[in-house]
Amino acid sequence: MEKRCDSPILEISGLSVSFQMYDNTFGRKDLQVISDLHMRVYAGEMLAVVGSSGSGKSLLASAILGILPKNAAVDGVMRYCGQNLTPAPQRRLRGNGIALVPQSVEFLDPLMRVGTQVDGHGKRPVKEGRDRGQSRRKIFQRLGLPRATERCYPFQLSGGMARRVLVSTALIQDAQLIVADEPTPGMGADQAREALRLFRAIADDGKAVILITHDLDLALAFADRIAVFYAGMMVETADASDFQNGQGGINMLRHPYSRALCRALPQNQFEPVAGFQPYAGSLPKGCPFAPRCSYRSQRCEQKTPPVRSLRGGEVRCFCADATL
C-alpha cells in the first residue's frame, strides 16, 4: 500500500509534450501537443479536464502514467505526493498509487475473464482474495453489472458494459490518484451518473480524481474545479460554480474560450463561436485562441500569455480583466 500524503497529491509545472515526426521528405520535426502546462490536484478533490477533441486531454493522462509512445519527449516537472514522477516511480505507481481508467476498451485482456482482471493479476492470500471479490461485486452492483459479468470475457460484453468494467478496475484499487479518461461514453445517463458518484465518493474519502471528459454538464454536477484545455494549453482553471448560470454565473469565467464553451451547452441555445481549434502542427503565434477572440489585441497575436491568478482561479489570457 502506498504511503498517504498531504495535498496536493499531483503537482505539474511547465509540462510540455512533443512528438518526433517525419515529413514527406523524411525531414525530422518536433510536433508540440502540450505546452507549458501547470496544474495541481488536491486530496479530497475531483478536477475535471474539459475541452475540444485534439486539445491534449488524453495525452495529459498518458504523460502522468508514463505511457506515452517512444517518440514522445516530455519536459517540465510532475510530482506525486512531493516525489518527482520520473520513469521509475511512474512504473512503480501504475496500478498502485495512480490508477487509470483508460479511454479504450481494448485495454481489457481478451483472453482473461472479467472478474479476474478487475481483481488484479497474481496470487493473493485467500482472505484478501475473498475480500477483493466482495468489493468487486458491490462495485458491479452499483454500476448495474450483473453478477454473471465476472465470468464473461470482454468480447461477450456490450460497449457500455466494457466501460463500466474499466471503471471497476480503478475503483477497486487503493490508489491515491485516479485518472479517468472519458470513462462514461456508451453508458446510459443513470449509469454514467452512478460512475461519477463513485468517483465523487473516492474523492470525498481523501483521494484525488482527474476526470477527463467532453461532458461538461456531467462534470459540473460532480467536480470541484474545472480545467479548460485549448490547443494543448490549459487556458483556465476555475471552481465548478463559476460555470453555472444565474447570479454571477458565466460572468465569473476568466477566459473567452471558457465562456464560449459554456454558452455552447444545450441550455444556452448552442451559441457558437466562429472558427476552429488549430491543429498542433499549425498553431498561430501568440495565444492560440486569438484568431477566434473578439477581445484580442496585438499583444495576444505576438506573445503567449503567462498563467496568472484572477478572481479565485487561474487564467492564461492578457484580456481576462476586459471580459467582465
Residues 14-30 pLDDT 10s: 999 999 887 777 677 88
Residue 248: which H helix or E strand, with range? none
pLDDT at 90 over 50: yes
pLDDT of residue 171: 86
User: Could you give the CA distance from residue 44 to residue 224 in angstroms, rounded to a whole number?
Assistant: 9
Q: What is the pLDDT of residues 277-308, one digit of tens each?
A: 998 888 999 999 999 999 999 999 999 999 99
Q: Which of helix, strand or coil describes residue 33?
A: strand
Mean pLDDT of 89-104: 91
Range with the poorest average pLDDT among 125-139, 153-167, 267-281: 125-139
Which pLDDT belongs to residue 321?
79
| Residue-wise DSSP of 125-188 | -HHHHHHHHHHHHHHHHHTT--GGGGG--GGGS-HHHHHHHHHHHHHTS--SEEEEES--TTS-
pLDDT at 121 over 80: no
246 secondary structure, DSSP code:
S
Is residue 157's pLDDT more than 90?
A: yes
The predicted model gives 187-200 an average pLDDT of 90
Give the separation between CA 290 and CA 262, rounded to whole angstroms. 18
pLDDT class for 170, splitting at 50, 70, 90? confident
> What confidence score (pLDDT) does residue 322 get?
64
Sign of the dihedral defined by the CA atoms of residues 16, 28, 69, 106, in that order: positive
pLDDT of residue 67: 95
- Looking at residue 128, what is its pLDDT? 61
Mean pLDDT over residues 202-209, rounded? 93
- Which pLDDT does position 126 carry in this prediction? 43
pLDDT of residue 247: 44
Whether 3 shows a pLDDT value over 70: the answer reads: no
User: Would you say 169 and 155 are in contact if contact means Cβ atoms under 8 Å apart?
Assistant: no
Omega of the bond leading into 8 within 30 degrees of 0 (cis): yes
What percent of the chain stands above pLDDT 70?
92
